[in-house]
Amino acid sequence: MGLFDRLLLGGDRSRGKEDQERGGGAETAAMGSDVPPPSAIPPLSAAAASVVRRCARIAGVPVDQLLRRLDAEEQAGGPLEYARSVVEYCSHVALRVEARRPDHLGDREFHTLTYDMMLAWEAPDEETYAMFQKTAFSVLRDDADDDDGASIFYSSPTQMAIQVDGRRTVGPEAFAKIAPACPAMAHPITVRNLFDALTNSTGGRLHFLIYHKYLRSLDEAFCSAKRMLGGHKAPALQLSDDEVILDIHGAATTKPVLQHIGTSTWPGRLTLTNHALYFEAIGVDFSYGEAVVYDLARDLKQSVKRESTGPWGAHLFDKAVMYKSSLTSEPVFFEFPQFKGHTRRDYWFAAIKEVLHAHKFIRKYKLASFQKAEALSVATLGILRYRTVKQGFHILPAHFKTILAFNLAEKLPKGDKILEALYGQLKQHCPRFRGSQDFGQSSSDELMLADPFPLSAYTMVTMGLLKLKEEDNAEERDFTVRDVQIGGTSSVQMALERSVGYSGRVEAARTTLDQVKVEDIDTNVAVLKELLFPLIEIGKRLLTLAGWEEPFKSFVFLLCFLYMAYSGWIWFMFPGFLLGSTLFMLWNKHYGNGRSVGAFEIITPPRRRTVEQLLALQQAISQLEAHVQAGNIFLLKLRSLMLAAFPQSTNRVAAALVVVATIFTFMPLRTIVLLILLEAYTRQMPLRKKSSEKLVRSCGVRAFRTGNAATPEPPAGHRREVQGRAAGLRAARDKHGRLPQDPPGDRGLAAAVRAAGAWQETQPRPAATGDGPGAVRTSAAAPPRRRQRHSRCCRCVCYTFLALVLLVVALGATAGILYLVFRPKIPTFHVDRLTVTRFDVNTTTATVTDAFDVDVTATNPNRRIGIYYDGGDVTASFNGTVLCRGPFPALYQGHRTTVRPHISLAGETRLDSDVAAQLLQQQQAGFVPLTVRARVPIRIKFGAIRLWKMTGKANCNLVVDNIQAGTQLSIRSNTCSFKLKI
């Protein structure tokens, strides 16, 4: 025992006796006597033998009887493995007895006992014990031989005591073997992460002072939870029997939690239980109002994540948790004000996620009764340990290092395998609680320890935080060696090791990604160009071939392309590219000789100044504005054509659409694509280069004229504004007739002048009358010039639009013809029989466990239409509360046939008090309304044609006389409807 250990923890006579006993044994062993002392247990060291004797004394049985429990196979692994198995088994047996005491976490002797167990497991024989003693002495001597200039001050009194404490330390393997034997201390899934959190500042070795501080803080957390459950400083909430208060924040009105919903904010108190969140707003008189419940147990598509909040919805303060479910119309934000950092928010976020993941695990594997209590107890104990580490050591382990079991399983890759192994272990252990004969009987040489298996639920019961039902209480039975995983690895640990291995790869990949991230948009563009350099070069080569700069190469490429298209090889280009990439990767893998990938180097462009960046941003915005304007003009032209604002243009577009529709109808898509590619590739061919240039020029002129003619007239207000601004600019022309430069606020004004001038030129000018020099003579409007023939480009565009319109018309006509030919009718559904096979109501927890058998009749009245039912989901509910659900069978229903599927529904539902009272009242009255809903994916078959999947929704509103198990219900009312969602 170190000096600071005695000063900080105080002396203990019993501890002194044990030290003398252990020291005496070690001294006897060190003398080298050939005759072992009477209390020696070969091959254990003196310290390990002392721990075994203390375990036997706690269990109340002789040591030899305790050792006979081990199988002979445990001795075949070697002296060291056998010694560790003996220490591990005896420690587990003793801890089962010690953990039955409610105050064992606060007992200093328990702290010393468990720490000595870890030391004994780490060095169980004399050789290993001597090696560890030598290592500890060398480390202590190295610490003492520090430089004279080193500081004598430390970060905390605990750290200062650790530096001068001469006691041996514990490694991760010993902690992982002994600590999970007491579920309150650690869980097998997170025990390694807990050890890393406790040894964060001690170099990966656990000192007794740190361990003692952890257990003492954990005992305070349990006592606080017990006081809150008993009503001390706890809100007046209507909690269920198995609901435990995990934490409360905002109990002091000066430090409330802020709830944000939309633009409204309420200060109040937030309470987290293992079933829900409760928020109580603070009133004007500083009293708490009625609690708003946010359920975490039901499947409401809840979403919880970190968020930032601020005034008027501004994301300024990263200190909030967002909660959203199907019952909330908009997200709810809980802000945890903190002067510096956001650890308080992170703690609550992790705790809420742990409860959500625990209930998700319960729903996934349909846990009930004791299994459900065990899953919630694992989450509860994990949150209490998480709070202990946060408050006692100011550490919040996160991501892959979290000490919350369900959060860790959700974050780790292949974490579902961990939960699957946990469920298998729980399912294997649960029959042992029912007084199974296989585990309930023992031979005469076995130790009689009438004690249940040490799961988390029984730890909660021992601590006074949970009350189990009578059917969940385990019968007393023997504690056999098969209950302890000695010298082996459980399925949960194996799944955890595999997931941790994958997580290492994920962390390495994430680190690599963080290293290759660069800042500045110019640098990222340079990296992108360098990465796409091969593709850019291929594109340049193709453009060179399409430009016919070297006619021979272009002609050869054209012939090869046409041959591949004709023979059908072109459609194997993409699979060939994928296969070639695969072969290239495999070649580098097997014949690369382990070469490391070289660094990717680029030439970094010079950094721009702030003014240059602002100018570039302004230019990008201007370009974006120009593109938006062009899009608006195109849409306005399309609108004018669709509304036939210009009859002549509309006729041409309609004719073009008819032609395009005809082409798509009678010509294969492959041929159309090839013709388009061929036309684009041969546009610069020497034989047709001149005609292509002439076509492009004529298309540009005609498109400009057609665009001006098809542009709709602007609104009157906008027209007057443009005309006024245009007149002002005409007055400002210089002597050369040029417009001045656009000011910053009048960007694009010259374009507006041109548009106004073009519009005015298209309007008829009013005639003027009068005589004299100043009069304007009346003249008839000049006849419009005869328009030239539109080019083929404009004609093609018009034909395209016309083809699209005709295609829509053709589809509508086809649908009408199909309707007249097939006369589709909606199928009908009817519930024939409803039988209750199980209906158990637990009045204590308001839980209903039920099972229904439903016989349904489905009739297809169509003559030429068949229906495929591809499974689906069927639910039975009362007053909006789903009682049970089941699958709809997959089947095919031919035309004018009737099928009678049999559907089995089962489920377990927790009813509200109002719903339970209504159900009881309706049963007494003999009129119980039930709703049977089915959501079934269906496919319609027209002859030999199958359509896409659609969703069929069937709702049947039933009224039965009662709900009793084992009876066929009398259906008083039966109304069914069916809707098809295309």
The per-residue pLDDT for range 322-343, each reduced to its tens digit, is 999 998 889 999 999 887 888 8
Q: Where are the alpha helices (DSSP H) in 682-748?
A: 689-710, 716-731
Distance CA 393, CA 439 (A): 42
Query: Does residue 555 carry a pLDDT above 50?
Result: yes
pLDDT confidence of residue 810: 67
HEC assignment per residue over 482-512: HHCCCCCCCHHHHHHHHHHHHHHHHHHHHHH
SS3 74: helix
Per-residue confidence band for 252, with pLDDT thresholds at 50, 70 and 90: confident
Distance CA 250, CA 332 (A): 17
pLDDT confidence of residue 664: 83
pLDDT, mean of residues 936-959: 82
Query: Does residue 186 carry a pLDDT above 90?
Result: yes
| Cα angle 796, 797, 802; round to 5 | 95
Task: Give 905's contacts (C-beta < 8 A, 6+ positions apart).
Answer: 851, 852, 853, 854, 874, 875, 876, 883, 884, 885, 886
Q: Which residue has the higher pLDDT, 130 or 239?
A: 239
DSSP letters for 329-391: SS-EEEE---SS-SHHHHHHHHHHHHHHHHHHHHHHTT--THHHHHHHHHHHHHHHHHHHHHH
Amino acid at residue number 662: T
Which residues lie across from 971 on neighbouring strands?
Answer: 960
Q: Which of 107-121, 214-228, 436-450 has the lowest mean pLDDT?
A: 436-450
Highest mean pLDDT: which range of 26-40, 128-142, 727-741: 128-142
pLDDT confidence of residue 818: 66
Structure tokens at 137: 């002495």
Per-residue confidence band for 734, with pLDDT thresholds at 50, 70 and 90: very low
- 68-101 confidence digits (pLDDT tens): 766 544 555 678 888 888 888 889 889 988 888 8
**φ, ψ dihedrals at 829, nearest 5°:** -125, 150
Task: Give 73's contacts (C-beta < 8 A, 6+ positions apart).
Answer: none
**φ, ψ dihedrals at 571, nearest 5°:** -80, -5
Structure tokens at 958: 């039933």
Which residues lie across from 323 on neighbouring strands?
Answer: 304, 332
SS3 608: coil
Per-residue confidence band for 943, with pLDDT thresholds at 50, 70 and 90: low
For residue 185, count other CB atoms closer than 10 A to its CB: 25
Amino acid at residue number 613: Q
Q: What is the CA radius of gyration of the chain?
A: 41
Highest mean pLDDT: which range of 832-836, 931-935, 972-976: 931-935
Contact in structure between 746 and 673 (CB atoms under 8 Å)? no
Contact in structure between 321 and 332 (CB atoms under 8 Å)? no
pLDDT, mean of residues 397-416: 89
The terminus-to-terminus CA distance of the chain in angstroms comes to 78
Distances (CA, A) of 444 to 441, 614, 664: 10, 88, 89
pLDDT, mean of residues 101-124: 92
pLDDT, mean of residues 367-388: 91
Which residues lie across from 309 on neighbouring strands?
Answer: 317
Distance CA 824, CA 335 (A): 56
Distance CA 627, CA 617 (A): 15
Round the average pLDDT of the chain to a whole number and report it.
76
Listed residue (968, 933, 967) closest to 952, CA to CA: 933
pLDDT confidence of residue 384: 94
Structure tokens at 328: 């909330």
Is the pTM higher than 0.75?
no
Amino acid at residue number 256: P
Contact in structure between 807 and 828 (CB atoms under 8 Å)? no
Query: Does residue 801 carry a pLDDT above 70?
Result: no
Listed residue (309, 271, 314, 306) closest to 292, CA to CA: 271
Q: 429-434: long-range contacts (C-beta < 8 A, 24 or more apart)?
A: 429/453, 429/455, 430/370, 430/371, 432/474, 432/477, 432/483, 433/370, 433/472, 433/474, 433/475, 434/474, 434/475
Per-residue confidence band for 216, with pLDDT thresholds at 50, 70 and 90: very high
Distance CA 380, CA 822 (A): 61
The number of residues in the chain equals 982
Distance CA 795, CA 786 (A): 18
Per-residue confidence band for 316, with pLDDT thresholds at 50, 70 and 90: confident
Distance CA 873, CA 856 (A): 14
Cβ burial of 564 (10 Å; 0-12, 13-18, 19+) is middle
Query: Does residue 835 carry a pLDDT above 90?
Result: no
Q: What percent of the chain has pLDDT over 90?
A: 18
- 684-725 confidence digits (pLDDT tens): 888 778 877 777 776 655 555 555 555 555 544 444 444 555
Task: Give 430's contacts (C-beta < 8 A, 6+ positions apart).
Answer: 370, 371
Structure tokens at 278: 């409760």
Containing H/E element for 855? strand 847-860
pLDDT confidence of residue 29: 34
Q: Which residue has the higher pLDDT, 170 or 746?
A: 170
Q: Where are the alpha helices (DSSP H) in 46-78?
A: 46-59, 63-67
**Axis crossing angle, helix 749-762 with helix 716-731, rounded to the nearest 10:** 110
Q: Which of 77-86, 213-222, 291-300, 735-744 has the lowest mean pLDDT?
A: 735-744
What are the residue ranges spanned by the domains of the chain? 220-429+451-496, 824-981
CATH class for the region spanning 220-429+451-496: mainly beta
pLDDT, mean of residues 485-499: 76
Query: Does residue 474 carry a pLDDT above 80?
Result: no
pLDDT confidence of residue 775: 38
Estimate to the nearest angstrom the gap between the alpha carbon of 186 and the chain centroid.
Answer: 26
Cβ burial of 485 (10 Å; 0-12, 13-18, 19+) is middle
Task: Give 436's contacts (C-beta < 8 A, 6+ positions apart).
Answer: none
- 146-163 confidence digits (pLDDT tens): 444 433 333 455 554 555
pLDDT, mean of residues 502-530: 78
Distance CA 235, CA 390 (A): 24
Query: Does residue 442 carry a pLDDT above 70?
Result: no
Query: Does residue 783 carry a pLDDT above 60?
Result: no
Per-residue confidence band for 187, with pLDDT thresholds at 50, 70 and 90: very high
Amino acid at residue number 59: A
Contact in structure between 826 and 950 (CB atoms under 8 Å)? no
DSSP letters for 508-532: HHHHHHHHH---SHHHHHHHHHHHT
pLDDT, mean of residues 733-738: 46
Q: What percent of the chain has pLDDT over 70?
A: 71
Task: Give 61's contacts (C-beta < 8 A, 6+ positions apart).
Answer: 447
Listed residue (228, 202, 278, 225) closest to 387, CA to CA: 225
pLDDT confidence of residue 914: 79
Cβ burial of 190 (10 Å; 0-12, 13-18, 19+) is buried
Contact in structure between 905 and 886 (CB atoms under 8 Å)? yes
Per-residue confidence band for 472, with pLDDT thresholds at 50, 70 and 90: low
Distance CA 393, CA 200 (A): 10
Residue 183 DSSP code: T
Distance CA 443, CA 446 (A): 6
Per-residue confidence band for 964, with pLDDT thresholds at 50, 70 and 90: confident
Distance CA 705, CA 367 (A): 74
Which residues lie across from 317 on neighbouring strands?
Answer: 309
Structure tokens at 41: 């247990």
Distance CA 578, CA 517 (A): 28
Contact in structure between 698 and 791 (CB atoms under 8 Å)? yes
Task: Give 909's contacts (C-beta < 8 A, 6+ positions apart).
Answer: 847, 848, 850, 881, 882, 883, 884
pLDDT, mean of residues 396-420: 89
For residue 701, count other CB atoms closer than 10 A to its CB: 12
